[in-house]
Amino acid sequence: MASTGQLHISNLFSLQGHVCLVTGGGTGIGLMATQALAANGAKVYITGRRKEVLENAARTHSPQSSNTSLNGEIIPIGPCDVTSKESLEKLTAELESKEKYLSLVVAAAGVSGPKGYPDTSDAKQMKDNLWREQVEEWKATYNTNVISVFFSVVSFLPLLQRAPRNLDASVIVISSMSGLMRHSQAHFAYNAAKAATAHLSRMMSKEFAKTGVRVNSIAPGYFPSEMTMKQSDERNKAHMPAEKVKDKGHEVPAGRAGSDEEMAMGVIFLTKCGYVNGEVLKLDGGVMNEVGGG
């Protein structure tokens, strides 16, 4: 039975002692997750393909709190190509040489894939629009958004199992609301891959539970990132104006993009709440209430 004081937010959501790895941690949602974890006391390793991006993220976004006992760290490691088992093995060995355990892996690396527009009732025109997509583009999208997630999590399972029991070791897979809806959004390859990502996280939650590792997923809606906005600024950040969100072909009830703070809340909740496993948490501003899925 908890006392009232034990339920203070500083006790519920402190990440002291947590050692985390974020793939795709230098930009976008991966960077949002990294900031949230480090701000609350975690040591966070970030990896990705571009060493200079990782170094800039760590240099720019490491915690600056005056309370040094609560400060976490952001540490670049790698670089790592998560689509390569050899690269993942090398990264795992490097982490094992530095740390006794990981308590969290955030699989945030992803690509957007090709676009093909089905916005016509003429079958021949629709075929022409979609036939331009390349098989290799589909394979690359699936490889990064699904296959690499599986092998990334599997590679780090032993490190996760070594985490102290009180840290509730877990994985957070970044999927997408796009994988939950029937609209293609002109992204058949991406949406199909993200549907697979979300279901993969559910399967891993079931099968990996015997190791003591939880697996959950966040399915974001419209959040500003290098992938969605095609660029980042000098802080590795992107901006999504409200008018961009309103031009999506469907209602976005929140009327705006999601914020770094809102992503942080989702990440910290799934990291800390050991009673949640197999969840796909929609952070979508209410979009799925409007477009449905199934």
The 3-state secondary structure of the chain reads: CCCCHHHCHHHHCCCCCCEEEEECCCCHHHHHHHHHHHHCCCEEEEECCCHHHHHHHHHHHCCCCCCCCCCCEEEECCCCCCCCHHHHHHHHHHHHHHCCCCCEEEECCCCCCCCCCCCCCCHHHHHHHHHCCCHHHHHHHHHHHHHHHHHHHHHHHHHHHCCCHHHCCEEEEECCHHHCECCCCCCHHHHHHHHHHHHHHHHHHHHHHHHCCEEEEEEECCCCCHHHHCCCCCCCCCCCCHHHHHCCCCCCCCCCCCCHHHHHHHHHHHHHCCCCCCCEEEECCCHHHHHCEC
| Domains of the chain listed by start with CATH number | 15-291 (3.40.50.720)
For residue 79, say if its preceding peptide bond is cis, omega within 30 degrees of 0.
yes
Cα dihedral: 240, 243, 246, 252 (round 10): 50
How large is the average pLDDT for residues 234-246?
75
The residue among 181, 20, 164 whose CA lies nearest residue 102 is: 20
Give the range among 37-51, 193-207, 234-248, 256-270 with minimum mean pLDDT.
234-248
**Residues marked as catalytic:** 175, 190, 194
- Taking only the tens place, the pLDDT of each residue in 29-45 is 999 999 999 999 999 99
The residue among 184, 192, 175, 293 whose CA lies nearest residue 249 is: 184
Q: Which residues pair with 45 in a beta bridge?
A: 21, 75
Flag whether pLDDT at 15 surpasses 80.
yes
| pTM score, whole prediction | 0.94
**pLDDT attached to residue 70:** 65
Sequence-distant (6+) residues with CB within 8 A of 169 are: 101, 102, 103, 104, 160, 161, 163, 212, 213, 214
- Taking only the tens place, the pLDDT of each residue in 123-161 is 999 999 999 999 999 999 999 999 999 999 999 999 999
**pLDDT attached to residue 238:** 76
**pLDDT attached to residue 242:** 75
What tokens appear for 102 in the block? 């990981």
Asked whether the CA dihedral 135, 136, 140, 146 is positive or negative, the reply is positive
Mean pLDDT, all residues of the chain = 92
Under 8 Å between Cβ of 238 and 232 = yes
* One-letter amino acid of 138: W
How large is the average pLDDT for residues 254-263?
93
More confident residue, 175 or 292: 175
Max Cα-Cα span within the chain: 67
More confident residue, 192 or 255: 192
The CA distance from 272 to 169, in Å, is 9
Sequence-distant (6+) residues with CB within 8 A of 259 are: none
Flag whether pLDDT at 99 surpasses 90.
yes
The CA distance from 110 to 107, in Å, is 9
- Taking only the tens place, the pLDDT of each residue in 185-225 is 999 999 999 999 999 999 999 999 999 999 999 999 999 87
Give the range among 112-126, 203-217, 227-241, 272-286 with minimum mean pLDDT.
227-241
Confidence of residue 59 (pLDDT cuts 50, 70, 90): very high
